[in-house]
Amino acid sequence: MATGSVREVLPPALDSHSDPPPIFDGTTRLYISYTCPYAQRVWITRNCKGLQDKIKLVPIDLKNRPAWYKQKVYPANKVPALEHNNEVKGESLELIKYIDSHFEGPSLFPDDPAKKEYAEELFSYIDSFYKTATSSFKGDGSKAGVAFDYIETALSKFEDGPFFLGQFSLVDIAYAPFIERIHPFLLEVKKYDFTLGRPKLATWIEEMNKNEAYTQTKSDPKDLVQSYKERFMAQL
Ligand SMILES: N[C@@H](CCC(=O)N[C@@H](CS)C(=O)NCC(=O)O)C(=O)O
């Protein structure tokens, strides 16, 4: 995708020693963490719309967070947050829709009412998808099968392309950061490859990996697996 082909030099994350940016000076800023899947959704959306020059990335070091972030930027003290028109908004699913409808660039949401309705169903399934997939980390991994079957079926619904709604959309962006983490973790730790026997899901991953707007936001899978190990293995 042409708009994704701008290769950016990514700024270093701000920590407790960093000064705040000049907040509310008219600049549109997207506060993220390089490792947060929710923030990644909004970062991908910004890249897909070719807004690299319009929306400035401000990465935050969540482990050593600057105090000004909660005090001056976003009282919820989470990422992502978007500073736009003298307001700060949060919640990744809200933000991807907001960026798609308030900024220039290709539309990432269909007009077709059947697709719109299905998009809402898929957005509301994400939390159960994540819960089912990660709860399976305790067993042999294959118990997550129902969650991946749901995805495989969803990917079969519209036949005009390999994505959730046929053509690439915000729904793909919403799922990608989670699939990016769960896939290498289950492969390495449980020796379970959820793409086996799920050809649509295998193709979806392949197609997503052709999109530079997305691949530029990806973390090293080794780091993702390591951070999931730290997070989930203690509970196993
Ligand atoms: N529901 C929020 C979740 C955001 C979220 O949990 N972000 C994490 C990082 S991945 C965070 O900022 N955690 C810091 C904290 O909770 O103190 C969204 O979709 O934007």
Of the pLDDT bands very low, low, confident and very high (cuts 50, 70, 90), residue 1 is very low
21 is a domain residue: no
Write the CATH number for 167.
Answer: 1.20.1050.10
Confirm whether 98 is domain-assigned.
Answer: yes
Residue nearest to atom 11 of ligand 1 (CA): 78
pLDDT at residue 97 is higher than 90:
yes
Best mutation site among 41, 61, 70, 79 for ligand 1 pocket (most ligand atoms within 8 Å of CB):
79
Strand ranges in 104-151 using DSSP code E only, listed in sequence order:
none
Percent of the chain predicted with pLDDT > 90: 89
79 Cβ closer than 6 Å to some ligand 1 atom = yes
173: which 2 tokens? 């962006």
- Tell me the best of 42, 69, 78, 96 to mutate to test the pocket of ligand 1, counting ligand atoms within 8 Å of each CB and taking the most: 78
Tell me which of 33, 36, 88 to substitute to probe ligand 1's pocket, judged by most ligand atoms within 8 Å of the beta carbon: 36
Domain range for 96 is 29-102
Radius of gyration of the chain from its Cα atoms, rounded to whole angstroms = 18
pLDDT confidence of residue 235:
59
Q: Where are the beta strands (DSSP E) in the chain?
A: 28-32, 55-59, 81-84, 87-90
ipTM of this predicted complex? 0.98
Environment class of 24 (CB within 10 Å of its CB; exposed 0-12, middle 13-18, buried 19+): middle
pLDDT digits (tens, 9 = 90+) for 43-75: 999 999 999 999 999 999 999 999 999 999 999
Is the domain of 44 the same as that of 89? yes
162 & 82 share domain? no
Structural domain total, the chain:
2
**Ligand 1 geometric centre to CA of 209 (Å):** 25
Atom of ligand 1 nearest to the CA of 93: 19
pTM of the full predicted structure?
0.95
Domain assignment of residue 50, yes or no: yes
Dump pLDDT digits (tens) for 74-84: 999 999 999 99
> Residue 168 in contact with residue 108, Cβ under 8 Å?
yes
Mean pLDDT of 116-139: 92
